[in-house]
Structure 1
């Protein structure tokens, strides 16, 4: 049976979800999914992540600035594992290390990137959180208007991300996502400062390795670590996908930038998730606003993208999507619906809406193992 844990917004985030939900098909039709109700109470579990080895799920409680662990107790049940752990304002993304020894939480509200240690049972370790939060504050707690010396960046823009021109509002750090690279480093996005940051894990937290500065006002949001070794980053404000590559010395830089769609309208369309086909030949991003799915072909060694299609997402405000069994599953935050789109077997292009179902303010899918 096809099943997904479903993250969502609750009353505290102007939504109707009452916890982590279950989205499942039936024996007769795996692609006719239906919402089966909440399997664990939680306030606005907007993003879910799985432990790399254990049957443990972590929820970003976005409105409560905390992370909660849940252990699977039955075929379709989750129970709290330990206490919730405070991390930072509007925590919106979690990524678990392949080793299972820690996770990284990205906090949109205050820009914190927090390393949370995990014990042998997958339970968060509060002491590790405190150390990481202190480290993060020391590194990036400065006010962009404080007069600090400019910070050097590596990438496509010459302007410094911390430099705020006179007469404009100071920019605010908005961490949004994290991913683990094959070499053991961690990459994170800062939507507010237009930065892609690369970190090295240490015994007590994260050490900044270097930064890539994207053009001002692009708003890097989510990422895909591509099998080719490239990193693709979708930008919420400029409707682009930037492709980054690592040089011989391990320093990353931008190698190309592609519009998500030639007809995407900046200021109207706001890309959300970025996902790839299983073979890595196609990337998909959702444009909130026009409520469409943009498909991009990956060319060359993975360093070039081409916009190839734009299709109806079947929902309002498509916040998250993923590819499964040759189809695309899309969460409609504002329509309280989930849509399943068919993908052309040859081209990977979305070709129609196969199925829709009601679900309370869905924001994230996590396949049930």
Structure 2
């Protein structure tokens, strides 16, 4: 039976989820799913990420500015593995290193990018020594905050100095997601400053934090949100404000740069549609993003050596405000944040196009899925 852990928003984030939930499917290749209730009492676990080798799940507690680890304690149960660890305001994403020795938390509210250590049992280690807080102070010309949580790296300055939004408000850093690159470096998005940052994880007993390597500035107002690393090594980045997918590649000197961009769909409406997640098939032939607003799923075909994308299909997502989706066994699972539902879409095995809505089910303010291994 196919099962998924389900992240969601609780009352503090204007949602109805009571904690990490469980979705369970039937035995027939997951042709339907039903919500089986909360397996933890956790406030707004909006994003979930797995440990690469242990039966441990890490949750971004968005309303509580913290990250917490949970260990599998039964066939369909989780229990806390230690106390929550401070991250930053509105922590909305966590990504676990391939070796399972640390994670990166991205904080939308204050722009922090936080490295938190993980021990051999999967517990979070909040006392990592880290020079990245000093880096932040140097970049921003601010005094070092003694209260900053361990492992904090943060936004540098706005690449568009002195710039303001169209409404006249000052731009604010909004870290949104992280991805581990093939060479061991880490990419993070800053939706507020229109940046993709490339970091190096420092090592040794004196510094176990993040060191800023370089930045890739996207056009102002694009709003880079989520990313996927393609098997070719390219990095695809979906933008929330301009409805585009940018493709980045590393040059011979290791510096990343934009090598292409395309609209998620020819009929996507900037200012009405706000792309959320970006997911790919296992073989990397197809990408899918959800357009919140029109509540559709846009499909893109990967061409060339991974550097070129072509939008080729648009379909009803089956939910309202599709915040997250993933590809699983030839289907697309979609979380509807505002409709309190999830939907299951069939995908054409040959063309990759969404074929239609197979199944819909109620679920409390769903925000992310994670396959139960």
Q: TM-score interval w.r.t. the shorter chain?
A: over 0.9
Number of the residue aligned with 2:342: 338
SS at structure 1 position matched to 2:350: coil
Q: In 2, are the aligned partners of 1:161 and 1:195 still within 8 Å (CA)?
A: no
SS at structure 2 position matched to 1:138: helix
Correspondent of 2:244 among 217, 240, 247: 240
Tell whether 2:160 aligns with 1:161. Answer: yes
CA deviations on 1:58-80 (whole Å, 9 max, x unpaired) are: 11000000011111110111001
CA distance in 2, matches of 1:18, 1:300: 45
Q: In 1, are the aligned partners of 2:159 and 2:193 still within 8 Å (CA)?
A: no
CA deviations on 1:310-357 (whole Å, 9 max, x unpaired) are: 100000000000000101000000000000001111100001000000
Q: In 2, are the aligned partners of 1:67 and 1:87 still within 8 Å (CA)?
A: yes
SS at structure 2 position matched to 1:127: coil
CA distance in 2, matches of 1:152, 1:83: 30
CA distance in 1, matches of 2:131, 2:103: 11
CA deviations on 1:98-156 (whole Å, 9 max, x unpaired) are: 1111000000000000000111111111112x73672464266569xxxxxxx999xxx
Q: Residues 59 and 170 from structure 1, CA distance in 2 versus in 1: closer, same or farther, beyond 3 angstroms?
A: same
Number of the residue aligned with 2:42: 42
Number of the residue aligned with 1:195: 195
Number of the residue aligned with 2:122: 122
Number of the residue aligned with 2:229: 225
CA distance in 2, matches of 1:226, 1:238: 22
Q: In 1, are the aligned partners of 2:289 and 2:297 still within 8 Å (CA)?
A: yes
Shift of 1:52: 1.3
Tell whether 2:345 aligns with 1:306. Answer: no
Tell whether 2:30 aligns with 1:26. Answer: no
CA deviations on 1:140-196 (whole Å, 9 max, x unpaired) are: 6569xxxxxxx999xxxxx93343259932210000000001110000000000000
SS at structure 2 position matched to 1:41: coil
CA RMSD of aligned residues (A): 1.9
Q: In 1, are the aligned partners of 2:40 and 2:78 still within 8 Å (CA)?
A: yes
CA distance in 2, matches of 1:313, 1:3: 21
Shift of 1:290: 0.2
CA distance in 1, matches of 2:52, 2:279: 20
Number of the residue aligned with 1:134: 133
CA deviations on 1:22-49 (whole Å, 9 max, x unpaired) are: 0011235622110010011100000001
Tell whether 2:322 aligns with 1:323. Answer: no
Tell whether 2:258 aligns with 1:259. Answer: no
In the TM superposition, 1:74-223 aligns within 5 A as 74-128=74-128, 131=130, 134-135=133-134, 137-138=136-137, 141=140, 160-164=159-163, 168-203=168-203, 204-223=208-227
Could you state the TM-score of these two structures normalised by the residue count of structure 2? Answer: 0.92
CA deviations on 1:197-237 (whole Å, 9 max, x unpaired) are: 00000022000110000000000000010001111000000
Q: In 1, are the aligned partners of 2:56 and 2:71 still within 8 Å (CA)?
A: yes
Number of the residue aligned with 1:52: 52
Shift of 1:300: 0.8
Q: In 1, are the aligned partners of 2:287 and 2:300 still within 8 Å (CA)?
A: yes
CA distance in 1, matches of 2:363, 2:113: 30
- The answer to which of 49-58 and 88-97 deviates more is 49-58
- Structure 2 unaligned spans of 5+: 143-154
CA distance in 2, matches of 1:116, 1:78: 21
Q: Residues 276 and 61 from structure 1, CA distance in 2 versus in 1: closer, same or farther, beyond 3 angstroms?
A: same
Q: Residues 255 and 330 from structure 1, CA distance in 2 versus in 1: closer, same or farther, beyond 3 angstroms?
A: same
CA distance in 2, matches of 1:306, 1:15: 36
Aligned length in residues: 356
Could you state the TM-score of these two structures normalised by the residue count of structure 1? Answer: 0.93
SS at structure 1 position matched to 2:127: helix
SS at structure 1 position matched to 2:6: strand
